[in-house]
Structure 1
């Protein structure tokens, strides 16, 4: 158990949130990510560094499956209502402190391939806890080489593996970067 001196709850006392997210690819095999502003510095050596990148998605509502929640969240966040949801390719479970409401996140990640790169993020900011800085289609080589904070660790490698046609048959376990 970790106790946080910045006022966050000890990890054992965090509320649990079940979350569905999508690795959204466009026809050029770029990955769509959203940049958020963290509530605390993401690197103690750089106190002004607060941006981090995350996949579209969000929490399950009562009675929703991960698949239903993922489709709903994609409609809300990127304006894509009808998607073919691919397999669950990864999970990431653990305490996450970069959002305003710290949580023990139990995340499931699904593959989505869009027919174009046209998305509508006009409603994105109104659904989020943290300020949204923007969205970006990331070429996978740039994503893998980036010094930006990308959550969770291993996301770029997983995206490259999927694009190469090696879709995991069982979900891989990813981890937060001390988030």
Structure 2
């Protein structure tokens, strides 16, 4: 990979800093899930070193004194242009080192359900706040999510989406994990 002098080197540290994060499983009325495609700063699969695309839910880090719900609502306005989104229940967590963003972090992520009244989003401001290049957004059907060979983080998201889309909310948050480097979908 060619890096220009003005471009900072991706950082991977033995003990990355902890970052508390709120993310949303954003559903449209048709039950599709909104995901954002990013370009990883390092290879996500040693067998395919040029494949650097991964998909993630909207959301981001908490600001000082901010709750997860408030952060989720703020991030949805910043990333997809939805103000005052109705934040539903906490349905999953994913804690551990995450190395696909420019700055590695020990992510402590919390996932909330958000159901929008339609599929209209505005992503004009999305790239302004992101570490990594944003490649686009897409509404995914459950069948597409379950069948894809693309890298979707975290692992187990499709199973969670199947339950939530079907009206089953977990009694306690589901614990998800990050993919191993060679895992996809």
What runs of 5+ residues in structure 2 fail to find an aligned partner?
1-9
Residue 153 of structure 1 is matched in structure 2 by 155
After TM superposition, list the pairs within 5 Å mapping 1:44-123 onto structure 2.
44-123=46-125
Q: RMSD value over aligned CA atoms?
A: 1.0
What runs of 5+ residues in structure 1 fail to find an aligned partner?
1-5
| TM-score normalised according to structure 1 size | 0.94
The 2-side partners of 1:84 and 1:70 are apart by 10
Residue 165 of structure 1 is matched in structure 2 by 167
Following TM superposition, by how much is the alpha carbon of 1:82 offset from its aligned partner in structure 2, in angstroms?
1.7
The 2-side partners of 1:145 and 1:40 are apart by 25
Q: Across the two proteins, how many residue pairs are aligned to each other?
A: 172
The 2-side partners of 1:107 and 1:72 are apart by 15
Residue 4 of structure 2 is matched in structure 1 by none
Residue 30 of structure 1 is matched in structure 2 by 32
The 2-side partners of 1:159 and 1:124 are apart by 23
- Counterpart among 7, 13, 17 of residue 9 in structure 1: 13
Q: Deviations over 1:92-138 (max 9, x none)?
A: 00000000000000000000000000000000001100000000000
Query: 1:120 is paired with a residue of what secondary structure?
Result: coil
Residue 42 of structure 1 is matched in structure 2 by 44
Query: 1:144 is paired with a residue of what secondary structure?
Result: helix
The 2-side partners of 1:153 and 1:46 are apart by 19
Following TM superposition, by how much is the alpha carbon of 1:16 offset from its aligned partner in structure 2, in angstroms?
0.2
The 2-side partners of 1:74 and 1:24 are apart by 9
Query: 2:152 is paired with a residue of what secondary structure?
Result: coil
- Counterpart among 21, 24, 37 of residue 23 in structure 2: 21
The 1-side partners of 2:11 and 2:87 are apart by 38
The 1-side partners of 2:131 and 2:137 are apart by 16
